[in-house]
Structure 1
Amino acid sequence: MLTQRYKCIVQYDGTHYVGYQVQPNGNSIQTEIEKALRKMMKGQTIKIDASGRTDSGVHALGQVIHFNLPIQIKPESLQLALNSMLPADISIRQVEKVSDAFHSRYSAKGKKYVYRVDLNRFADPFKRYHTLHHPYRMNLDALKASLDKLVGEHDFTSFCSTKTEKENLVRTVYVAKYEIDEAANELIFTFIGNGFLYNQIRIFVGTCLQIADGLKQPEEIDRLLEVKDRNEAGPTASGKGLYLVEVYYDNTFKEKFTHF
């Protein structure tokens, strides 16, 4: 049977989910999308693949998935149908037909994430599921110095969960920076790389906040890259502040960021 492959860009609020991927201990983003597809296809199971899994509580502005359908349907009609059946915290933002050579995970060349930190003295109840509350005075020069040290190709064993199934823990980080959103009084981390390991960005944030707080010096990053021991790095920051922003499928994105 001839099939058509579709690529979708998905946004979701991960607050009430155990993560993107199907898990035995709770509801997932994947479960909800596959449920909508099964309803649309009158009971037929449609398997979907994603650019990667996001953990419990993590959000997405630009998660990418793909799946094959045994029917031809206009992208805008497919988007409308799926959004009419998905819960309010999941939305299909874009749909397009792609060739069978496209794979949301294996075709990906890089990813962009942001992490939001609420700097207000008292926690904002409307941000409690979407930011990490960290109301402490920080040394921003030390923070920048620590982030700068993460840029480049490194073995990131110290910044990866011990639960990872990956054997090769070398990745390239093109961008590791912060900015202050003065209107919201938030610290916004941005990370762009060719791929990220399990909990890598959350450990980046947990470690760099320790440095910004004066508990450690920026040179701690050099040591952690050398010792390759997860137990030596800082805590894993909460998933609620993390957002998958964009997945890159064209290597030209590197040209804007490669400076090492």
Structure 2
Amino acid sequence: MSYAVVGLPAPPNLNGSLSSITTSSNKGADDVNSVEMKPSTGAGYKWRLVIAYDGTHYAGWQYQQSPPTIQCIVEKALIRVTKLERKDLHLVGASRTDTGVHAFGQVAHFVTPFNYDSLESIHAALNGLLPADIRVREISAAVPEFHARFSTKSKIYHYKIFNDTVMDPFQRHYAYHSAYKLNATVMREAAKHFVGKHDFSAFANASHNDRMPDPVKNIFRFGVIEMGALLQLEVEGSGFLYRQVRNMVALLLQIGRQAIPPDIVPMILATRDRKELAKYALSAPPHGLCLVSIKYNEQHLHLPSSCPISSFGRHHSISKCKLPFY
């Protein structure tokens, strides 16, 4: 089965623009993989969003008005642009990121009873209404089978740790500060124990959103990358329980400080008891965590035929300088 990635960032470039990498493209009516652009079952035309946000000032993704959430802010902008009611938009996010957690590749979908000839105008209008810490990176048409949450094959999260005696003030909202010198080698050794299919009950907090969550998740990779003083933990899995990533990171931090050995990971996993993990580590703070990208079944990312071209934003240009020379 082939997967396609939504929201995977290009290599960090402070002067570059944010770009989305997907294996889908705008396919015409002659493409054998294209499907007709038609209303999704009983709902209307379906549209996919890729959203980036700084979660510092928000109470996560999931809808609530006070304190504000990302979904609430995005819905208000969509209501103004589409002139539809919230109940008609059916906005759904792929991942219900927690309070203070960031995203570069959050994916969501919404529906409208009407089609669009062009997506650039609605894209520009949405970003014009949204606050500066939330941006829609991409808008594209979606086939009826696509579902931002249930079509997900895997999610990729990064957790950043600034490992130096003095914290970099420019990293303070996006990286956890560890003044203790961390041993990245033993952290890598410990992270390998998370890879594979396991019952992660010991690494999950109780959530009011999931009444009967499946505790068995498949972790495809868990890397520990050193970038100078910055330590980046990269984890990809089929899905994650509430606070699972932050709890895994918290244990790796203790192992990196060499307070406990790497082989404690399988021991705690085997207990399936959250209280066992609490003996060694508390949950890592949310601000170091970022939802980087989401992978989907490639067939669900095929664009319908006769649909508008996907919008990645538009450049503005000036034909000539209007300022006088001095």
TM-score by length of 2: 0.74
CA distance in 2, matches of 1:206, 1:24: 30
CA distance in 2, matches of 1:2, 1:160: 35
Aligned residue in 2 for 1:180: 226
1:48 aligns with 2:95: no
CA distance in 2, matches of 1:204, 1:2: 39
CA distance in 2, matches of 1:58, 1:4: 30
CA distance in 1, matches of 2:46, 2:298: 22
159, 163, 166: which is aligned to 1:122?
A: 166
92, 102, 106: which is aligned to 1:59?
A: 102
Aligned residue in 1 for 2:175: 131
Contact 2:81/2:122 (<8 A) preserved: no
Aligned residue in 1 for 2:112: 69
Q: Residue 99 of structure 2 aligns to which amino acid in structure 1?
A: S
Residue 180 of structure 2 aligns to a residue in which SS? coil
CA distance in 1, matches of 2:295, 2:84: 33
TM-aligned CA deviation for residue 52 of structure 1: 1.6
Alpha-carbon deviations, 1:109-135, whole Å to 9, x = none? 110000000112112222221110012
Aligned residue in 1 for 2:271: 227
Residue 188 of structure 1 aligns to a residue in which SS? strand
Contact 2:203/2:244 (<8 A) preserved: yes
Residue 171 of structure 2 aligns to a residue in which SS? coil
Aligned residue in 2 for 1:33: 74
Aligned residue in 1 for 2:321: none
TM-aligned CA deviation for residue 43 of structure 1: 5.5
Residue 258 of structure 2 aligns to a residue in which SS? coil
Label 1:2 to 1:140 Cα distance change in 2 as closer, same or farther (>3 A): closer
Q: Residue 158 of structure 2 aligns to which amino acid in structure 1?
A: V
Alpha-carbon deviations, 1:216-259, whole Å to 9, x = none? 1111101111111112112110110000001100279xxxxxxx
More deviation, 19-28/196-205: 19-28
Question: RCO greater where, 1 or 2, for CA within 8 Å and sep 6 or more?
Answer: 2
Contact 1:16/1:57 (<8 A) preserved: yes
CA distance in 2, matches of 1:23, 1:244: 20
1:169 aligns with 2:210: no
Alpha-carbon deviations, 1:5-39, whole Å to 9, x = none? 00010000000000011135400000111000111
Label 1:166 to 1:123 Cα distance change in 2 as closer, same or farther (>3 A): farther
TM-score by length of 1: 0.92
Aligned residue in 2 for 1:12: 53
- Structure 1, gaps ≥5 residues long: 253-260
Residue 146 of structure 1 aligns to a residue in which SS? helix
Contact 2:164/2:179 (<8 A) preserved: yes
Residue 187 of structure 1 aligns to a residue in which SS? strand
More deviation, 64-73/121-130: 121-130
**Runs (4+) off by over 6 Å:** none
Aligned residue in 1 for 2:235: 191
More deviation, 128-137/103-112: 128-137
Residue 105 of structure 1 aligns to a residue in which SS? coil
Residue 109 of structure 1 aligns to a residue in which SS? strand
CA distance in 2, matches of 1:129, 1:87: 17
> What root-mean-square deviation, in Å, do the aligned CA atoms of Structure 1 and Structure 2 show?
1.7
Alpha-carbon deviations, 1:67-114, whole Å to 9, x = none? 001222222222112111111000000111011211000001110000
Alpha-carbon deviations, 1:126-172, whole Å to 9, x = none? 22211100121122221111101100000001111133534320000
Label 1:120 to 1:30 Cα distance change in 2 as closer, same or farther (>3 A): same
Residue 126 of structure 1 aligns to a residue in which SS? helix
Contact 1:115/1:242 (<8 A) preserved: yes
Q: Residue 167 of structure 1 aligns to which amino acid in structure 2?
A: P
1:154 aligns with 2:201: no
1:93 aligns with 2:134: no
Q: Residue 70 of structure 2 aligns to which amino acid in structure 1?
A: I
